[in-house]
Structure 1
């Protein structure tokens, strides 16, 4: 089964919903900025599951959540760390 990397970013207007979304994504992805996460090597089915759960947590009239598929390795600029070397303990 093919796995890809996805960028998940959000703009949530309500602090309570913001905390719920951030907490959920911290369990599923790697935070790379305040409201930007990366889902590393996940299947299409898994990213749809994450998207479905996010849809339950937000107010679609007030909040904005976007998921972008990362093609190739992308371009890294500035000071960063190699996400391939990060491991997540669950």
Structure 2
């Protein structure tokens, strides 16, 4: 299954839900900062992520955005920013 690149951002009003959302998103993230995470996921992982988000957030108070990033477009880097690599294999 091919992976696709997404940016997940969230604004969660409750500390407990914020922590749960942070842990959930980090599971899929290749890089991130505070409430923005780059995720490189398969369609099945995206489906699971979306389902899990609905179990964590309060739909009356919280906000989550999932943006699909176009792989054909160049990424701009400034300062010490650098391209993040994703390598799903670990050789021991």
Q: TM-score range by the shorter chain?
A: 0.7 to 0.9
Q: Residues 1-90 of structure 1: matches in 2 within 5 Å?
A: 1-40=1-40, 42-72=41-71, 73-79=73-79, 80-84=81-85
List runs of 5+ in structure 2 lacking aligned partners. none
Q: Deviations over 1:14-38 (max 9, x none)?
A: 1110011101111221342210011
Q: Secondary structure at the match of 1:60?
A: coil
Which is higher, the Rg of structure 1 or of structure 2?
2
CA distance in 1, matches of 2:58, 2:84: 31
Length-normalised TM-score, structure 2? 0.81
CA distance in 2, matches of 1:88, 1:9: 26
Structure having the higher helix fraction is 1
For structure 1, which segment, 50-59 or 26-35, has the greater mean C-alpha deviation from structure 2 after superposition?
Answer: 26-35
- Give the aligned CA root-mean-square deviation in angstroms: 2.2
List runs of 5+ in structure 1 lacking aligned partners. none
Length-normalised TM-score, structure 1? 0.82
